[in-house]
Amino acid sequence: MNQSVGKIHEVVKWPAPVLAKRGEEVTVFDAKLKKLVEEMFESMYAAQGIGLAAPQINISKRITVIDCSFKKNPDEKVILINPEIIERKGKQIEEEGCLSLPEIREKVSRAAWVKVRAQDVNGDSIEVEGEELLARAMQHEIDHLDGILFIDRLSRLKRDLIIRKIKKLQKNGEW
């Protein structure tokens, strides 16, 4: 892998319309896609995240990158293209944040273990299993590809409070 850093994409914030719609299936697996995936990792690291979905950088495609080790272990880098969760087990309730909702953190209930079927950058079919943090990250990022944010999984009251807070920040030019 070459060391030249690609373009760092800006992460879009809620309520950007791209975050609320289902991403398009990826059908072309070429050098452009590989470059985008590399740029997504760089953009994710630049934003201090462990997961990033293409809609978060204003690209409505079903692509997500995850690195729960945050650069410490290259083997932990996960690339999921056109992913779907095919199995889930158990339950975990942990605090989540999102690069598109900076500084907002809430406890979200997710499956404790998931199996995901997806494609890699070459278009080959892969299956990835994850538990704990990786399971949570995969569910969170796949939600993005379906136009769902973690605040959509909260109680209506909590969600309304967060939206009110964001609107206030927007009014003050802080969002």
What CA–CA distance (Å, rounded) separates 175 from 171?
Answer: 8
What CA–CA distance (Å, rounded) separates 154 from 161?
Answer: 11
For residue 95, what is the enclosing H or E element?
A: strand 92-98
- Residue 79 CB-half CA count within 13 A: 20
Q: Any known ligand binding at 9?
A: no
Q: Any known ligand binding at 68?
A: no
Q: Which residue in the list 25, 129, 141, 174 is annotated as catalytic? A: 141
Beta strands 51-53 and 63-67 are antiparallel
The answer to whether 34 touches 40, Cβ cutoff 8 Å, is no
Q: Any known ligand binding at 144?
A: yes
Question: Known catalytic residue: 38?
Answer: no
Residue 94, classed as helix, strand or coil, is strand
| Residues carrying an active site annotation | 141
Q: Residues marked as binding for Fe cation?
A: 98, 140, 144
Q: Residues marked as binding?
A: 98, 140, 144
